[in-house]
Structure 1
């Protein structure tokens, strides 16, 4: 399989892009399998958090496999298949938190995938870049749309227009990643963060993520009103009772996502 999917008892799904012989570049079949993985994360109540990474220690993913995409002859009708093989970075709405474990090259489509994740841990040897302009195309699947949300404008424009690469230290300094660790500690650290996320109230976590993401497209008054509405919904749930009860009883809460 080009995409590996594992689910722990605690609700942490690990998605691994598994084409190390191609630096985890993704052809059409890989994108289809990745789409199926994201849909499972979205729809499976047993999944509370997802960790996405690449197989091996060399590459997270370098994005689309150039050999299979830039030379492909697709019909014009493909342009209007906007819901086909939806991806996290192409508009699929996944409100469960996603942790990226960047284990090497994160280039092109790897960067646009990174932009759609929530918490990012990188290995010290990780390399980042939007290199598409050096190949005659541009960073699609959200590259031009999410870039300015992730980086200051001048830095964002430098990356996307020059197509140069940066190292993990600079990515951390610019706020592109949360933390940089030795590669041998990467997956343990990513899973440790994911386990902490999985212990929080699932519905409250998902509501928080959705409100933050949707704030990009709402004025403040609408956003505040949406907060009130979602809190009304959450107050009717089991978890909203369990949280205060656990606090009062000085015990760990056992959230169920209902």
Structure 2
């Protein structure tokens, strides 16, 4: 699908704009104060990721929220709803879309950059670590609240975090579920540059302009090679990841001890 067709699809939960082969995707979940993710948002983001997979009309995808909040992710009620179906097979189906959405974004051939200001929580943090780069504004609150809330971090986040931050720091951020500020994120390998508060998108755009000035075929082939080496075991991990996620949901929902 041509980029003009993608731009004209009438997306409900984000705004798209194109400039110099840089596609900006602004999460705008109208009606949700903190840009929360629900099932419709996840489905749209997955669809967009699939459509952008091998699109050659773009060189960079910039993912952002608002200047005051990237996204609060999906809340506990949304998590619990995934385990309300009557059969195990249906519940397994219902936990798939989030992981599929993140996987679709990880497979976009163009360079992906997350510009993060304000709060970035849970599902939104997982989506951001599936991007190639992350630019964080000062004042960022980046965290994974799942374990302290009797959930488990899924959607392929753990292998990506281990690749970025290492095993020990991944355990710290996932087990404790505490806010990480921009400086800590940069130190731990989660942020590639820190911007002034509210200016993450401006700085990310400078990165995008630099990337789009490079030979596009060489950029895509380099990304493909680096990802192939660094994510070789991710497919195997994803199967176990989904099983753990399903198991944790059953425990939280009281369906098993």
TM-score norm. by structure 1 comes to 0.76
Show structure 2 runs of 5+ residues with no match. Answer: 1-11, 234-257
Contact kept? 1:53, 1:102, Cα under 8 Å: yes
For residues 224 and 199 of structure 2, what CA distance do their matches in structure 1 show?
30
Alignment length (residue pairs): 217
Q: How does 1:146-165 map to 2 (within 5 A)?
A: 146-165=160-179
Change (3 A) 1:47 1:88: farther
TM-score (norm 2): 0.76
Change (3 A) 1:173 1:216: closer
Q: Is the 8 A contact 1:5 1:37 kept in 2?
A: no
Distance 1:198 1:71, change over 3 A: same
Q: Deviation of residue 177 (structure 1)?
A: 0.3
Change (3 A) 1:174 1:204: same
Q: 1:76 aligns with which of 88, 99, 104?
A: 88
What whole-Å deviation, never above 9, does each CA across 1:141-187 have from its counterpart, x for those lacking one? 11222121111322111111111111111111222101111134322
Segments of 5+ residues of structure 1 without an aligned counterpart are 220-258
1:1-258 to 2 correspondences below 5 Å: 1-8=12-19, 10-19=20-29, 21-54=32-65, 56-72=66-82, 73-74=84-85, 75-78=87-90, 79-80=92-93, 86-89=100-103, 93-216=107-230
Contact 2:146/2:153 (CA < 8 Å) preserved in 1?
yes
Tell which structure's C-alpha radius of gyration is larger: 1
Closer/same/farther in 2, CA of residues 217 and 184 from structure 1, 3 Å limit:
closer
Deviation of the 1:27 alpha carbon: 0.3
Q: Aligned Cα RMSD in Å?
A: 2.4
The aligned residue for residue 237 of structure 1 is none
